[in-house]
Structure 1
Amino acid sequence: MERIFAEYLIETPYEVEKATAVLAGEQSSGTFVAVPGETDELKQRFAARVENIELLDLKDEPSIPGTAIAGKKYQQAKVKVSWSIENFGYNLPVLVSTLQGNLYEITQFTGLKLLDFEVPDSYQKHFSGPKFGIKGSKASTGVAGRPMIGTIIKPSVGLSPQDTAALVKTLLNAGIDFIKDDELMGSTANSLFDDRVKAIMPEIRKHEDKTGKKAMYAFNISDELDEMQRKYDLILSEKGSCAMISINSVGLSATKKICDKGALAIHAHRNGWGMLNRHPLLGIEFPAYQKIWRLAGVDQLHVNGIQNKFWESDDSVVRSIQSCLKPFLNLKPLLPVVSSGQWGGQAFETYRRTQTTDLLYMAGGGILAHPMGAKAGVIALHQAWDSAVKGLSLEETASLHPEFMASVKKFGK
């Protein structure tokens, strides 16, 4: 039978082979004690298998709370485990429960992180993945040969629908490709969701009629499932093109249900990512994370940004971008959403390290706080990316363009 393979980084004070065998048993047919009915035939068919063990460093102290054994060191290792597809078929929540379930609770481990996983080609018949992805998102906004340039409505909450629509109009006139609600903006007391959609979409439609360019606005529909579907339909009726979902908040099945509707591009915000990844020996790495959400069908996924305002390293951000673009089954690649303290200055290092313009490059304050105004903020980002692709330096670009020079003076270190 076909098998699913998963790779983990583990740490344990026990013999690695025995600890990994406990993981395989706990996450398939076994439990802490032999039970009637667990025959050799059953285990042969359904038990997980330990495929490979690669020993790494020994540590004096445990990375996370667990079993402390006096005089023992803590062995780190990469291990590969596999399961028969018969265990869960094409049930995505059960697959995730297997790959990321009670194994984090097992006392044998003082560190455990899912690094990556592989599924068989038969998954292509059951999961259509992103409907738009990179090509569809860029085509929807008329963008080619460069990143999509986007921003976030700021202040995050507090603006009225009319104030938000006025800001959207300014951004549209500045040539923005993409605008989104902040993840904190759902339906506030002074900006109900329906009112906000009905105030913003006429501005987008008027701009499209005038210029032929339809900017993408990602309205945050994160909510209970029935209400998410109603909000989705409202965006569609107002001729919108995108909905945003806080995927860690609404969950896998709700996200997939919305993605399956297929008419709007789905902008996946990963807020809460830090609790899943920040510890080096706990949680999940982005290559595995993006595969789960690509199977669910999201089109655009946040990856943080170079020299970001958060904790994540540039190496991690680059790896995340690359994993979104890497082939996976026959599913469309995800559009990496670069954000977090971005302005044009990071474009040069981002392009140098990734060599791609298949990005949604998001700048909130980098556009809205530009000293020459939001329009100059958008222009400065275009100048930065155009120069980065041409091989010019930040300093050369600043000497050529007053808008970018003003960005350097405002945001540069």
Structure 2
Amino acid sequence: MGEKNYELRTAPEALPEGVDPEEYIIATYYTIQPSWLDGYTLGQAAALEQSTGTWTPVPKETPEVRKLHAARVIGAYEVPPYQWQLPKTDERTWILQIAFPIRNLGEPNLPLMLSTVVGNLSAAGKIKLLDLNLPKKWVQGFKGPKFGIPGLKKLLKIKDRPILNNMIKPCVYSPCEIGADLAYEVAAGGVDLVKDDELLADMELNKVEDRVTKFMEALDKASEEKGEPTLYTVNITDRPKKTLELAEKAIDLGANALMVNIITVGYETFRDLAEDPSINVPILAHTDFSATMYASPYYGVDARLILGKFCRLAGADIEVYPAPYGKAPFMKDTYMQVWRELTFPFYHLKPTTPMPAGGIIVQNVPQIWADIGSDFVIGVGGAMHAHPDGPRAGATAFRQAIEAVQKGIPLEKYGEDHKELGRAIGTWKTSKIV
């Protein structure tokens, strides 16, 4: 009798061991609430609000409906864990875990999943989604990166070093020959990957079709001279339908890579590109606008999800995100958490290539390498174009910095016999905003 009653139980609660991890998405939240509201009560209200219920009981929310579709609180942990008596305080801090049945979500997709695990909860005061444990059977619905780290390095014929990228600066310019000329110079100097800035897409002043034609001519010339391939990620960010059209047009014109501002376009638009079998080139994701969702310690969604897990699910081969070494006010701990989400084993998904960027200078190369190994893209903009001897020398300086690390020689020492590197070291001591 007792077992039967347990099976029919409809309260939105369970032990962690009482839910099948292959049938539920487990969401973890950080929340600060008034002292009169305990976390477990909040969690139960949230579980029903985000699954079967609303603010008041409704007749058709039957026990049978709840049994099939209700989310369940599987943990409510106060921080610190008061268990003898509660001190006088106006607020209490909790870590909540809620299990959401994947039967509620239909075909695996990010929009409905996010509406479920965040949705109206985002208006419940100080509450932030920290992490999601995703069932393997749900993630199987995502193809992830086509190339990822191994495919990208194979394409570029690189084995034991990072990939070197340059963002064309100025960010926005016309005519497109300005960018093509700069792309030739940095590629000839040793850059593997040339990227549009996130602010330049398909505008009348500088059309995607014109850039692809001019840039590919310039990069083919540079690649022949240096004996190494070079990719160009042309920015096709636009309305969803036009983004897909621009991808097809760019590839028809000979583009060998693409770029999309993944947050503003949307994860699923990016995913449509990445999972399209006719799109057979790497796709770079730029994550501008993302800080609006993760920057607050009390609201939104953690950066490890916004910059890490979701971009990998959507199929990003390369992802640009803030580095803690340069101009971005981005914590080292957060940066490392995002790197783990992009690169650690995640079911069948290939690893996304991390591209730390934002004021990167040659002195940062050894530190990045020491922190995350050699499987990354060095995202460099101004430190190449503003090199005192020009952008080609700026690119060469970074290749020399890579050589120095490979040989185990300190940068300053290597710069004594390598002019371009020495000049770069002497020009920039830091790019941090102070």
Q: Which of 272, 276, 284 matches 2:293?
A: 276
Contact 1:306 1:349 in 2 (8 A): no
Q: Which of 161, 164, 167 matches 1:152?
A: 167
- Higher Rg of the two aligned structures: 2
Answer yes or no: is 1:233 the counterpart of 2:251.
no
For each residue in 1:383-412, what CA deviation from the matched residue of structure 2 results, as whole angstroms up to 9, or x when unmatched? 323333554444444445332221122111
User: For residue 179 of structure 1, what is the amino acid of its counterpart?
Assistant: V
Query: Tell me, what secondary structure is at the counterpart of 1:412?
Result: coil
Q: CA RMSD in A?
A: 2.0
Partner of 2:54: 31
Distance 1:131 1:77 in 2: 39
User: For residue 221 of structure 1, what is the amino acid of its counterpart?
Assistant: I
Contact 1:11 1:74 in 2 (8 A): yes
Answer yes or no: is 1:353 the counterpart of 2:374.
no
User: For residue 336 of structure 2, what is the amino acid of its counterpart?
Assistant: V
- Offset, 1:309: 0.9
1:272/1:369 CA distance change after superposition, 3 Å: same
- Offset, 1:365: 0.8
Q: Which of 202, 205, 211 matches 1:187?
A: 202
Partner of 1:388: 405
Distance 2:337 2:154 in 1: 25
For each residue in 1:219-263, what CA deviation from the matched residue of structure 2 results, as whole angstroms up to 9, or x when unmatched? 110112232122111221222221111111111221111112241
Partner of 1:10: 31
Partner of 1:96: 114
Answer yes or no: is 1:52 the counterpart of 2:75.
yes
User: For residue 24 of structure 2, what is the amino acid of its counterpart?
Assistant: R
User: For residue 26 of structure 1, what is the amino acid of its counterpart?
Assistant: E
For each residue in 1:291-318, what CA deviation from the matched residue of structure 2 results, as whole angstroms up to 9, or x when unmatched? 2222221211122113221221122222
Alignment of 1:196-235 (within 5 A): 196-235=211-250
User: For residue 145 of structure 1, what is the amino acid of its counterpart?
Assistant: D
Alignment of 1:291-302 (within 5 A): 291-302=309-320
Partner of 1:252: 267
Partner of 2:330: 312
Distance 1:156 1:129 in 2: 29
User: For residue 48 of structure 2, what is the amino acid of its counterpart?
Assistant: G
- Number of residue pairs matched? 397
User: For residue 301 of structure 1, what is the amino acid of its counterpart?
Assistant: E
- Offset, 1:323: 2.1
For each residue in 1:310-357, what CA deviation from the matched residue of structure 2 results, as whole angstroms up to 9, or x when unmatched? 221122222222221111121001110110000111122222222x11
For each residue in 1:198-237, what CA deviation from the matched residue of structure 2 results, as whole angstroms up to 9, or x when unmatched? 2112222334455553211111101122321221112212
Contact 2:145 2:316 in 1 (8 A): yes
- Offset, 1:33: 0.7
Contact 1:291 1:328 in 2 (8 A): no
Query: Tell me, what secondary structure is at the counterpart of 1:264?
Result: coil
Structure 2: runs of 5+ lacking an equivalent: 1-19, 82-87
- Offset, 1:124: 4.6
Scaled by the length of structure 1, the TM-score of the pair is 0.91
- Offset, 1:81: 1.0
Answer yes or no: is 1:135 the counterpart of 2:150.
yes
Query: Tell me, what secondary structure is at the counterpart of 1:344?
Result: coil
Distance 1:347 1:175 in 2: 15
- Offset, 1:125: 3.4
Partner of 2:179: 164
For each residue in 1:50-71, what CA deviation from the matched residue of structure 2 results, as whole angstroms up to 9, or x when unmatched? 111222259xxxxxxxxxxxx8
Query: Tell me, what secondary structure is at the counterpart of 1:146?
Result: coil
For each residue in 1:163-194, what CA deviation from the matched residue of structure 2 results, as whole angstroms up to 9, or x when unmatched? 22111111221121011111110133431222
Contact 2:223 2:229 in 1 (8 A): yes
User: For residue 358 of structure 1, what is the amino acid of its counterpart?
Assistant: D
What percentage of aligned pairs have identical amino acids? 28
Distance 1:202 1:222 in 2: 22
Distance 1:125 1:36 in 2: 36
Partner of 2:358: 340
Partner of 1:62: none
Query: Tell me, what secondary structure is at the counterpart of 1:324?
Result: helix
Query: Tell me, what secondary structure is at the counterpart of 2:56?
Result: coil
User: For residue 82 of structure 1, what is the amino acid of its counterpart?
Assistant: A
1:388/1:280 CA distance change after superposition, 3 Å: farther
Partner of 2:429: 412
Q: Which of 384, 407, 419 matches 1:367?
A: 384
Distance 2:311 2:244 in 1: 19
Alignment of 1:59-78 (within 5 A): 73-78=90-95
Partner of 1:67: none
Distance 1:115 1:366 in 2: 35
Distance 2:119 2:320 in 1: 24
Partner of 2:45: 22
Q: Which of 371, 378, 381 matches 2:395?
A: 378
Query: Tell me, what secondary structure is at the counterpart of 1:45?
Result: helix
Contact 1:299 1:334 in 2 (8 A): yes
Distance 1:76 1:381 in 2: 46
Alignment of 1:103-142 (within 5 A): 103-106=121-124, 109=125, 111-142=126-157
Distance 1:284 1:7 in 2: 10
User: For residue 387 of structure 2, what is the amino acid of its counterpart?
Assistant: H
Distance 2:96 2:344 in 1: 23
Distance 2:327 2:43 in 1: 37
